[in-house]
A and B are shown apart, each in its own frame.
Chain A
């Protein structure tokens, strides 16, 4: 089932938390929602989950609109809120039973669904404990289990891996990836490797607006138009080296790295490589080239570029 957002705007007072956002998520896509704190990720997800209404625009899931058919939408969606609120005094099994019943699962199927969720989320050892006695990681699993118990077509997960240990993070990511094969998943996070590991598509949002949209490779390529290498050239005069480097045709900019002698960051012109030219320059001048490392533009840099201004 597709999710379509059209010119969605949500204001809190005068502040626009979400500002005219439109995007389209196709069935079976895992969409990573990325952005700094307060960018509007949670607000967008809350609107999708039917918790708050948008001021303008509409969000549609299949043929249902959050404005006109909130009840139908709630049946289609599994929602895991940001800090995973749960009834701490309830045992895991009772809570899952409650979640199942309230989502309208017929009585004879409830036990089967609970068993499946317990298995999928690895809760077997903890199922008789009260939720309040569980560690944060297990609570997160309970949160995921309650979100998926009615087998929703769409999963909305607000920071699903916070508070998990590295092993659990890997497991949950795998779980999300598996789910993404048959369901549409929107997850928000500010852990960048996470989106790269789990998401088919990344959406970066800042101050309520979408600033980037694409697969992780696409986004990386966008920011990687210019090759950047870090070189260390010894046996030469520093200023002389800089002047000579700048004379190379393909080089756009030379930047001496502060604190390190004879280390430079050399940026090439668009779509050109300067590595050979640098090597030849060193040979010609009899300088020793002791280091040459390509600097990969990371998603982090892109993220910073897009969201810091």
Chain B
């Protein structure tokens, strides 16, 4: 556990040193703030004291920002060769992967924590359903964790950050929308199957306030799968072929 945190801490330091973190935070808050408060069907147009608008926006902004955060994590190490140093230290491959995951997760949590003033403002404006806000945030966190896990995997398999970014988006877009589109276009068991695969189904049900173990299992299995695949990719060097 300690080693995981050491790796995560270093990774977070890199985010903040390289300005990635600041740019990501400013851009995330800028986008979501703009669409939540100022433009389109914003909170005032909806005229309801809830954060549904923000959650809908963040669902998309995070989708694009997360690959930009994760693309660097392993690809850069692969490219510069620092992965060699890391792998010869007394840490396991799993600790390395989870450390990177934790670092990205902390950055996303910081970003989400900075949107708490939205919540406080809405609370001031009218009666808020605190439970739905809470589950809304929970949905965002679970979704972020899922995409971080996918992003770290795509970053592990390449030494090119752009490839890592684009392939994370490519894999992500299936979960984000394509499965949903297929599901709504088909019926019966095929429809149900794709509906289950679609991340938006589970995200919607959680942010509506229904915390079902089915949804939690869905998120955690993708997260776990991504991390395991990353670890396997790292350990491949050890396979005597």
* Contact status B6-A101, CB under 8 Å: yes
Complex contacts, A98 vs chain B, CB 8 Å: 6, 10
A85 near B90: Cβ-Cβ < 8 Å: no
Question: Which residues of chain A from 37 to 74 have a CB within 8 Å of any chain B CB?
Answer: 46, 49-56, 71, 74
Taking a contact as CB atoms closer than 8 A, the residue among B82, B84, B88 that contacts A77 in the complex is B88
Q: How far is the CB of B7 from chain A (nearest CB, A)?
A: 7
CB nearest to B83 among chain A residues: A85
- Give the chain B neighbours of A83 by CB distance below 8 A: 81
Q: Cβ of A71 and Cβ of B13 under 8 Å apart? A: no
How close is B85's CB to chain A, nearest CB, in angstroms? 6
Please tell me which stretch of B134-142, B204-212, B233-241 contacts chain A, meaning at least 4 of its Cβ atoms lie within 8 angstroms of it: B233-241
* Chain A residues within an 8 Å CB radius of B13: 90, 94
**Cross-chain contact A85 with B80 (CB below 8 angstroms):** yes
Q: Are B240 and A85 in contact (CB under 8 A)?
A: no
Q: Are B90 and A51 touching (Cβ within 8 A)?
A: no
Which of A49, A51, A83 is the most central at the interface, judged by chain B CB atoms within 10 Å of its CB? A51
Min CB distance B155 to A, Å, is: 16
Across-interface contacts of A53 in B (CB, < 8 A): 237-240
A50 with B6, Cβ < 8 A, contacts A85-B82, A89-B14, A90-B13 known: no
Taking A89-B17, A101-B6, A102-B3 as contacts, is the C-beta distance between A50 and B81 under 8 angstroms? no
B92 A71 Cβ-Cβ under 8 A: yes
SS of A interface (majority): loop
Structural contact, A52 and B237, CB atoms closer than 8 A: yes
What is the distance, in angstroms, from A145's C-beta to the closest C-beta of chain B?
Answer: 12
B47 to chain A, nearest CB (A): 48
Contacts of B6 in A (CB 8 A): 98, 101-102
CA distance A53 to B18 in the complex (A): 35
Chain A residue, CB-CB nearest to B6: A101
CA distance A89 to B14 in the complex (A): 7
- Residues of chain A lying within 8 A (CB to CB) of residue B240: 53-56
Report the contact-size class of chain B (Cβ under 8 Å from the partner): 20 to 34
Is B17 in contact with A86, judged by CB distance below 8 angstroms?
Answer: no
A220 at the interface (CB under 8 A from B): no
Residues of B within 8 A of A146 (CB): 85
User: How many angstroms between the C-alpha atoms of A49 and B239 in the bound complex?
Assistant: 15
Tell me if B88 and A50 are in contact (CB < 8 A).
yes
Query: Could you tell me which residues of chain B, from 71 to 127, have a CB within 8 Å of some CB in chain A?
Result: 80-92
For the complex formed, measure the closest distance between the CB of B162 and the CB atoms of chain A, giving whole angstroms: 19
**A75 close to chain B: CB less than 8 A:** yes
A102 touches B87 (CB 8 A): no
Q: Is the CB of A102 within 8 A of B7?
A: yes
In the assembled complex, the CB of A257 is this many whole angstroms from the nearest CB of chain B, namely: 47
* A180 close to B (CB within 8 Å): no
The minimal Cβ–Cβ distance linking B241 to chain A, given in whole angstroms, is 8
Known interface pairs A52-B237, A53-B238, A53-B240. Does A81 touch B90 (Cβ–Cβ under 8 Å)? no
Cβ–Cβ < 8 Å partners of A88 in chain B? 80
Say yes or no: B90 contacts A71, CB within 8 Å: yes
- Listed residue (B3, B14, B87) with the most chain A CB atoms within 10 angstroms of its CB: B87
**How far, in angstroms, from A61 to B92 measured CA to CA in the complex?**
19
| Closest Cβ–Cβ distance, residue B80 to chain A (whole Å) | 5
Q: Is A274 an interface residue, CB under 8 A from the partner?
A: no
Q: Is there an interface contact between A104 and B85, defined as CB atoms closer than 8 Å? A: no
Q: Which residues of B contact A79 (CB under 8 A)?
A: 85, 88
In angstroms, Cα B80 to Cα A89, docked, is 12
CA A90 to CA B238, docked complex, whole Å: 29
Q: Which residues of A contact B91 (CB under 8 A)?
A: 102
Contacts of B238 in A (CB 8 A): 52-53
Is the CB of A189 closer than 8 A to any CB of chain B?
A: no
In the bound assembly, the distance between CA atoms of A198 and B239 in angstroms comes to 35
Given contacts A51-B84, A74-B90, A90-B13, 9 further A-B contacts (CB under 8 A): A49-B88, A51-B237, A55-B240, A81-B81, A86-B82, A89-B18, A98-B10, A104-B3, A104-B90
Q: Hey, which bits of chain B sit against chain A, CB under 8 A?
A: 3, 6-7, 10, 13-14, 17-18, 80-92, 237-241
Could you list 13 examples of A-B contacts with CB < 8 Å?
Answer: A51-B84, A56-B240, A71-B92, A77-B88, A83-B81, A85-B82, A85-B85, A86-B82, A87-B10, A102-B89, A102-B90, A103-B89, A103-B90
Q: Which 8 A-B pairs have the closest CB atoms?
A: A85-B81, A74-B90, A53-B238, A85-B82, A49-B88, A79-B88, A55-B240, A101-B6
